[in-house]
Amino acid sequence: MNDMTQGAALAPGLAADAPRLEPFWMPFTANRQFKAAPRLLARAEGMHYYTPEGRRVLDAQAGLWCVNAGHCRKPIADAIAQAAGSLDFAPTFQMGHPLAFELAQRLVALAGEPFDHVFFCNSGSEAVDSALKIALAWHRVRGEGQRTRFIGRERGYHGVGFGGISVGGIVGNRKMFGAMLPGVDHLQQTWNLEQQAFSRGQPQWGAHLADELERIIALHDASTIAAVIVEPVAGSAGVLVPPVGYLERLREITAKHGILLIFDEVITGFGRIGRPFGWQRFGVVPDLFTTAKGINSGTVPMGAVFARQGIYEAFMQGPQGAIEFAHGYTYSAHPLACAAALATLDVYRDEGLLTRAAQLERHFEDALHSLKGVRNVIDIRNIGLMGAVELAPRPDAPGARAYEAHLKAFFEEDLLIRYTGDIIALSPPLIVEPGQIDRIVQGLRSVLARMD
């Protein structure tokens, strides 16, 4: 066997007949770098992962911003197993199954007014593309089909569908993929090191950045614009917390011009910032909002778009037998995902997890900001149980410093922290204990102390 077919070395701690690493084309991963220094997770429980060799690693990123209830929770695992053994699959095209309706009812009750309908899909990316399509189609069924433009924002992450990357603003995720959706424009991003460094919670500076929306609307004319989409807190680009007053301003301007406002709550949904949904915390009500990840604590792929009163109703016209919205996925409201979500919502309710981030926020904030002054730390940001520590990039090697911190944390501190560029992002499961927050920050502190 030559090197190409042999692939990279087997992972340490795995048996000699363990699978080769090479055939898996890993998503959003530096494949060669990973396969040269693999980092494997073999099982999980509560706040921890376990590596194949049995090392226990504290999960400071809730898997991938998703395992909000903590890992391998028994009621959720039991519900999934039960569903798998009793209704493995049922179509939701032209048919239905009770769990889907029960879940939709639970979700709209959780969101409360004015949200009264939920559209199911299987991921955050699908939730975003579904929301964009709902926006376009909604204008069309109301006789404003010329509203086809979307406005996103620099550094926005809305998944990887063509819609999501078009409105998204992360250059690396866009540049390889051609022209994408036409007619999309972008607001500038809201982070400013000089004005906002080491803000605790929402920065005071920056509400005026929302006024740029008026310029963009004037440029294209409001009558051509379907929707504005933003994450209430930009997550993947490094926890960019909205300035005080910024989201309110976006709401005012979009409402004034008949433009839908979509919040992408794939990360902020389900308790991450102290309320069930981010819009509730900010007191700014969008027209549509997308969720995924925490909906069933990351256990089974699922996403959901919530629609404000009146949106669904606008589609309910024409012949009774006509499909009102020609969109959906084979696995929309998959029984296993629904069962998992229902059990997860019970855990969230019984343990008060959807508001726990608010209780822990001050402790998390103080702990995180105690890293101010540590070598190479240029900014610290936080809201709820989302936080970021931004490092100065190494000259000529952007991203290398945070990657090294991630490696050292994993191998030397038994700590899983996420990195993006030179930003370390933290989002522990919502069951995290104050002492574990301290341990995360202490681990990060000692890693940074050992690095140039």
Residues near ligand PLP, by CB under 6 A? 65, 123-125, 128, 157-159, 231, 235-236, 264, 266-267, 292
Beta-strand (E) ranges in 188-250? Answer: 225-230
C-beta closer to ligand PLP: residue 267 or 380:
267
C-beta closer to ligand PLP: residue 203 or 238:
238
Q: How far apart are CA 249 and CA 9, in angstroms?
A: 53
Minimum distance, C-beta of residue 20 to ligand PLP, in the bound complex (Å): 26
C-beta closer to ligand PLP: residue 125 or 382:
125
C-beta closer to ligand PLP: residue 157 or 246:
157
Q: How far apart are CA 155 and CA 262, in angstroms?
A: 16
Q: How far apart are CA 27 and CA 108, in angstroms?
A: 33
Provide DSSP, 30-43.
Answer: -HHHHHHS-----E
C-beta closer to ligand PLP: residue 124 or 243:
124
Give the N- to C-terminal CA distance of the chain in Å, as an integer: 41
Tokens standing for residue 70: 């903590």
Axis crossing angle, helix 356-369 with helix 434-449, rounded to the nearest 10 = 30
C-beta closer to ligand PLP: residue 70 or 278:
278
The structure tokens 């202490």 sit at 442
Minimum distance, C-beta of residue 409 to ligand PLP, in the bound complex (Å): 20
Tokens standing for residue 281: 């915390």
Minimum distance, C-beta of residue 125 to ligand PLP, in the bound complex (Å): 3
User: Whose CA is closest to 232, among 270, 188, 273, 174?
Assistant: 273
Minimum distance, C-beta of residue 292 to ligand PLP, in the bound complex (Å): 5
β-bridge pairing 260-264 and 386-391:
unpaired
Minimum distance, C-beta of residue 305 to ligand PLP, in the bound complex (Å): 12
C-beta closer to ligand PLP: residue 153 or 158:
158
Minimum distance, C-beta of residue 29 to ligand PLP, in the bound complex (Å): 13
Q: Which residue is nearest to ligand PLP (CB)?
A: 124
What is the largest distance, in Å, between two alpha-carbon atoms of the chain?
A: 69
DSSP 3-state percent helix, strand, coil across the chain (nearest 5)? 40, 15, 45
Minimum distance, C-beta of residue 164 to ligand PLP, in the bound complex (Å): 6
C-beta closer to ligand PLP: residue 123 or 130:
123
Minimum distance, C-beta of residue 307 to ligand PLP, in the bound complex (Å): 17
Secondary structure class of 87 (helix, strand, coil): coil
Give 65's contacts (C-beta < 8 A, 6+ positions apart): 235, 266, 267, 272, 293, 294, 427
